[in-house]
Amino acid sequence: MSKLEIQKPKLLKIEEIADLRKEIIENSERYQICEKRFKDVEEQKIEAEKYEFKNCLFESCKIIQSNFENAYFSDVIFQNCDFSNTNFSKAGFNKIEFNNCKLTGCEGIEADIFNTYIKESNLAYINFSEANFRDVKIEKTNLQSSSMNEITWKNVIFSECDLNQSEFVRTQLKGIDFSTCEFYGITVNIGDLNGAIVNEFQALELSKLLGLKIKK
């Protein structure tokens, strides 16, 4: 697991575009936006359902309360972006990087997230329920009070993340290493903890779920 190799996004020739909303309108027949750089874009309530974004760079953008349901992103880098309260339900992500991004309160229900690296970002209150994760690394990221219920995942690494108060209902945690993370006050089915990797302090906290009282 520690040697997980994630396919990185490959950005080829990119044309800088300032107006995301205009770009979406102009591509409304083929639903595809390729080889574009969006920098310093500030928008809200963007409607990009079912659009494909390929070989794109989003840099220092604030695109909030928007709709990317059923969208597909491949070979895309998000750098210093804010997508708070945006809908990514049933979206697909492959060969993606999120660096220092804000996705608080976002919906990622039933999303497919493959070959994705999320670093130093804020995903508090995000809802990833019923999502599918494969070959994903999440590092130094706030996932506090997130919903990760009924997730299917393979080759996932959490490193130094805040997972406090998060939900993992009907999500099997076998083989997932939480030992470097904040991992308190979670909601989880006891059976799904089987095989999870935790440190000794986390183990003491989790023992409360079993009704155990630790005698000092």
DSSP for 91-143, please give it.
Answer: -EEEEEEEES-B-TT-B-TT-EEEEEEEES-B-TT-B-TT-EEEEEEEES-B-
Q: What angle do CA 62, 132, 12 make, to 5 degrees?
A: 50
Report CA torsion sign: 68, 69, 74, 77.
positive
Of the two residues 91 and 10, the one the predictor is more confident about is 91
- Per-residue model confidence (pLDDT) at position 31: 95
CA 96 to chain centre: 10
pLDDT surpasses 70 at 87? yes
Q: Are 103 and 121 in contact (CB under 8 A)?
A: yes
Q: Kindly report the pTM of this predicted structure.
A: 0.92
- 112 found inside a domain: yes
Identify the pLDDT of residue 17: 82
Whether residue 167 is predicted with pLDDT greater than 80 in this model: the reply is yes
C-alpha span between 31 and 123 (Å, rounded):
27
Question: Strand ranges (DSSP E) for the chain?
Answer: 15-17, 32-34, 36-39, 42-44, 52-59, 62-64, 72-79, 92-99, 112-119, 132-139, 152-159, 167-168, 187-188
Ranking 84-98, 165-179, 194-208 by mean pLDDT, the lowest is 194-208
The pLDDT confidence band at residue 3, using thresholds 50, 70 and 90, is low
**pLDDT for 93-135, tens place per residue?**
999 999 999 999 999 999 999 999 999 999 999 999 999 999 9
**Domain span at 74:** 37-210
Query: For residue 6, is it within any domain?
Result: no
Please give the pLDDT value at position 1. 43
User: Residue 2 above 60 pLDDT?
Assistant: no
Question: How many structural domains are present in the chain?
Answer: 1
Q: Between 125 and 210, name the one with better pLDDT.
A: 125
The model's confidence at residue 214, banded by pLDDT at 50, 70 and 90, is low
Smallest Cα–Cα separation from 17: which of 9, 27, 8? 27
> Is 136 a member of any domain?
yes
Average pLDDT for the chain? 93
Mean pLDDT of 155-164: 97
Would residue 24 count as lying in a domain? no
The two structure tokens encoding residue 112: 């497919």
Q: What is the pLDDT of residues 50-86, one digit of tens each?
A: 999 999 999 999 999 999 999 999 999 999 999 999 9
Which CATH number fits the domain that encloses residue 205?
Answer: 2.160.20.80
Q: Is residue 144 part of a domain?
A: yes
Give the rounded percent of residues in the chain with a pLDDT score beyond 70. Answer: 95
pLDDT at 66: 98
Q: Say yes or no to pLDDT of 170 above 80.
A: yes
